[in-house]
């Protein structure tokens, strides 16, 4: 009996309608996730005015959810590796939606903070689960593109948040934006019925018959007919000696883990610091609510170009070179933003910064999914994401603090060039190349391998 692997089957079929279906279904979960996270940045000025908040307190409006996001990222990996990608994703989509809805009734800053922390658990859990589930269904030669492009949906959620706020806040107030954030709970039901489970996860749990049914559906979509698969014909590599969090720092994985964690931490510091404060800073600088919000929408929309491009380039030149070049360009663009003057130069360069940030951040995603085996891949992705979200929590607070100290827009922006340069150094000395590795072949990256 000929034996094969899930990766070999997916690679043989290539990009099909099934591939695009997975990408869209997972992506829509991230659209709603992105909306429920970002909507606070478009309502910060109104909340700050209503509750009489200081600059640091205003910055914390965007940070409270990050405490929950860190917790969500940590538990999501363990839940997903144990209970499955699909069920975990559906549960947490419902979780963050149903806990965003009550913010409509929040009577004070303290109640808002509590609700954002709790809803943040669901927001933080969805991204690593979605990225892992998606990456396990993509062909090896296209995985860099599709994995990075999957995160673009999260950015489109930010765009959706801006469009909703622009139309809702002036007419109905900031609270209605959070009422709308409860609607994605309906999509959680759709996920349970329409989204296939990860075949690699099913095989790893000994549920081969279920995996074979999905494979047959894939083949029928791709070729019009399905093969007959005998029990035991689909295999996974021998399981690693260690699983769980300790495996991330075991021999063969420790260098890659440290590298990816540092890379994502600095990337999140840049993205969440810039995006959380940009609408407020522009409004305070005299751009007005409509122009300030419209610009932020444009920055996130155009930034998605970077998310698409980075995966495509990473599949050509490799993951490591891609992140080195991307963070160099990000540092240069940020420094330029802090140096230009005039309304339109600032807006144009800020859009460029959005593209560079999304390009660089998207370039790190394939690395996360390609350095760990199936048994603890989602745990690895989740913990890397959670560590990065700590920076997402700290960054808006730090920006608020330096603003309170009197740092102007120009120097505040230049500050973000520092973590971009740190990312370049991390990429040079700690990141390993993973281009061309199938998800079934990942059994440990030795120190110095693929450099």
CA distance 63 to 45: 15
**Run of H or E residues at 439:** none
pLDDT for 237: 65
pTM: predicted TM-score of the whole model, two decimal places: 0.77
- How much is the CA Rg of the chain, to the nearest whole Å? 21
Residue span(s) of the chain under CATH 1.20.1250.20 come to 1-224, 245-441
Cβ atoms of residues 325 and 438 within 8 Å: no
pLDDT for 447: 32
pLDDT for 292: 65
First-residue to last-residue Cα distance in the chain: 38
Contacts with 69 (C-beta within 8 Å, 6 or more apart), sequence order: 37, 120, 121, 123, 124, 386, 389, 392, 393
Q: Is 195 left (phi over 0), alpha (psi -120 to 50) or beta?
A: beta
Residue 17 is encoded by which pair of tokens? 């309608």
Q: What is the pLDDT along the chain (451 residues), one digit of tens a residue?
A: 567 888 888 888 888 999 999 999 999 999 999 999 889 988 988 999 999 988 888 878 877 888 888 888 888 878 888 899 999 999 999 999 999 999 999 999 999 999 999 999 999 899 889 988 888 888 888 877 888 788 889 889 988 998 999 899 989 999 999 999 999 999 999 999 999 998 988 988 888 889 899 999 998 988 888 888 888 888 766 666 666 778 888 887 888 899 999 998 999 899 888 877 776 676 666 666 666 667 777 777 877 788 778 888 888 888 899 999 999 999 999 999 888 877 778 778 888 888 899 899 888 877 777 788 767 777 888 888 888 888 888 888 888 888 888 877 778 888 999 999 999 999 998 887 777 666 555 544 333 333 3
Residue 159 is encoded by which pair of tokens? 């765009």
pLDDT for 267: 92
DSSP 142: G
Q: What SS3 state is found at 62?
A: coil
Instruction: Please provide residue 54's backbone torsions phi and psi, each rounded to the nearest 5 degrees.
Output: -80, 175
Residue 258 is encoded by which pair of tokens? 């440290």
The four Cα atoms 339, 345, 346, 347 give a dihedral, to 10 degrees, of: -160
- Tell me which residue of 216, 248, 317 sits closest to 78, measured CA to CA: 248
Look up the CATH superfamily of 245-441. Answer: MFS general substrate transporter like domains (1.20.1250.20)
Contacts with 107 (C-beta within 8 Å, 6 or more apart), sequence order: none
Q: Does the domain spanning 1-224 belong to CATH 1.20.1250.20?
A: yes
- From residue 246, how far is each of 178, 195, 243, 301 by CA, in Å? 38, 31, 7, 39
CA atoms within a 13 Å half-sphere pointing along the CA-CB vector of 237? 15
């Amino acid at each position: 009996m000929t034996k094969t692997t899930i990766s070999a089957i997916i690679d043989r079929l290539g990009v099909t309608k099934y591939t695009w279906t997975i990408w869209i279904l997972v992506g829509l979960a991230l659209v709603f996730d992105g909306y429920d996270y970002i909507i606070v940045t478009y309502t910060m000025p109104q909340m700050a005015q209503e509750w009489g908040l200081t600059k640091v307190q205003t910055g914390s409006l965007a940070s409270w959810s990050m405490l929950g996001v860190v917790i969500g990222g940590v538990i999501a990996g363990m839940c997903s590796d144990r209970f499955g990608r699909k069920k975990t994703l559906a549960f947490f989509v419902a979780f963050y939606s149903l806990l965003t809805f009550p913010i409509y009734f929040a009577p004070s800053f303290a109640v808002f903070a509590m609700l954002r922390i709790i809803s943040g658990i669901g927001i933080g859990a969805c991204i690593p689960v979605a990225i892992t589930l998606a990456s396990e269904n993509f062909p090896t030669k296209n995985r860099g593109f599709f994995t990075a492009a999957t995160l673009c949906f999260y950015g489109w959620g930010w765009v959706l948040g801006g469009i909703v706020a622009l139309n809702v806040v002036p007419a109905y107030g900031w609270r209605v934006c959070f009422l709308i954030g409860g609607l994605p709970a309906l999509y959680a039901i759709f996920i349970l019925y329409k989204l296939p489970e990860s075949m690699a996860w099913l095989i790893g749990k000994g549920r081969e018959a279920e995996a074979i049914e999905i494979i047959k559906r894939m083949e029928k979509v791709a070729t019009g007919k399905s093969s007959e698969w005998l029990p035991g014909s689909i295999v996974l590599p021998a399981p690693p000696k260690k699983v769980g969090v300790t495996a991330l720092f075991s021999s063969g994985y420790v260098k890659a883990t440290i590298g990816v964690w540092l890379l994502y931490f600095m990337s999140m510091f840049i993205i969440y610091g810039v995006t959380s404060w940009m609408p407020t800073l522009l409004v305070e600088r005299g751009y007005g609510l409509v122009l300030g919000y419209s610009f932020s929408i444009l920055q996130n929309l155009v930034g998605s170009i970077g998310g698409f491009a980075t995966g495509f380039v990473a599949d050509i030149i490799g993951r490591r070179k891609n992140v080195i070049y991307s963070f160099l360009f990000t540092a240069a663009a940020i420094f330029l933003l802090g140096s230009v003057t005039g309304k339109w130069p600032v807006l144009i360069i800020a859009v460029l910064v959005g593209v560079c940030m999304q390009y660089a951040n998207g370039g790190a995603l394939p690395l996360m999914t390609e350095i760990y085996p199936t048994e603890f891949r989602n745990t690895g992705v989740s913990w890397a994401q959670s560590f990065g979200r700590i920076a997402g929590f700290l960054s808006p607070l730090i920006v608020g603090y330096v603003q309170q100290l009197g740092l102007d827009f120009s120097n505040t922006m230049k500050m973000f060039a520092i973590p971009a340069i740190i990312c370049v150094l991390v990429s040079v000395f700690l990141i390993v190349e993973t281009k061309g590795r199938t998800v079934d072949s990942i059994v440990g990256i030795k120190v110095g391998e693929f450099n």
